[in-house]
């Protein structure tokens, strides 16, 4: 990796998801490719949720961040043709999701028995709705402590929602 690409990766590691601002976009697995083509830096991003309005914001942020880091010329592409999956979220990313107060996505389908309450850490959660405050979330409630929970829905995994 060249110094220029390393500098770009460093700059991008500072960027956070607009919907879950504790989570880095790199930790979400959104950076598909970063390369140089004839002196032009090419950044390929994966949209996390199809139709997620955040991707436009993130694309602008990526562009702005790299320009400010003096890394032009560059091109930012969104690879809507490639699947993103919640299994691409790193361990750090999962911790960052929980820090924001959202239950990280289960590894496979949305099996509510696998969900651990962020408040009391009991595994006794009931799904309230598959739809939450944003398209990527479902709403649940802990039966043990009564805490309402937002779940990060699994996407693109074997038998996912």
Interface residues toward Zn ion, by CB under 5 A: 117, 119-120, 142, 144-145, 147
CB of 143 to Zn ion, least distance (A): 8
CB of 97 to Zn ion, least distance (A): 17
Distance CA 22, CA 15 (A): 10
Integer CA distances (angstroms), 32 to 13, 43, 77, 109, in order:
14, 8, 10, 23
Quick one: 87 or 119, whose CB is closer to Zn ion?
119
Quick one: 114 or 147, whose CB is closer to Zn ion?
147
For the record, the structure tokens of 48 come out as 């996390």
CB of 93 to Zn ion, least distance (A): 23
Quick one: 54 or 103, whose CB is closer to Zn ion?
103
CB of 126 to Zn ion, least distance (A): 11
SS3 67: helix
Quick one: 21 or 146, whose CB is closer to Zn ion?
146
For the record, the structure tokens of 42 come out as 């090419």
- Please list, in sequence order, all residues whose beta carbon lies within 8 angstroms of the beta carbon of residue 87, skipping any fewer than 6 positions away: 107, 154, 156, 157
- Return phi, psi of residue 113, to 5°: -65, -20
């Amino acid at each position: 990796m060249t110094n220029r690409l390393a500098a770009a990766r460093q700059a991008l590691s500072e960027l956070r998801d607009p919907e879950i601002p504790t989570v880095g976009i790199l930790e979400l697995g959104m950076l598909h490719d970063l390369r140089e083509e004839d002196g032009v830096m090419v950044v390929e991003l994966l949209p996390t949720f199809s139709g997620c309005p955040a991707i436009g914001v993130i694309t602008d942020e990526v562009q702005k961040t790299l320009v400010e880091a003096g890394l032009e010329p560059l091109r930012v592409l969104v690879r809507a043709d490639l699947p993103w999956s919640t299994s691409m979220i790193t361990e750090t990313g999962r911790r960052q999701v929980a820090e924001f107060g959202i239950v990280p996505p289960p590894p496979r389908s949305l099996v509510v028995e696998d969900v651990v309450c962020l408040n009391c850490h009991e595994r006794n959660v009931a799904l309230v709705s598959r739809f939450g405050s944003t398209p990527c979330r479902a709403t649940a409630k802990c039966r043990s402590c009564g805490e309402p929970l937002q779940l990060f829905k699994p996407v693109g995994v074997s038998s996912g929602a």
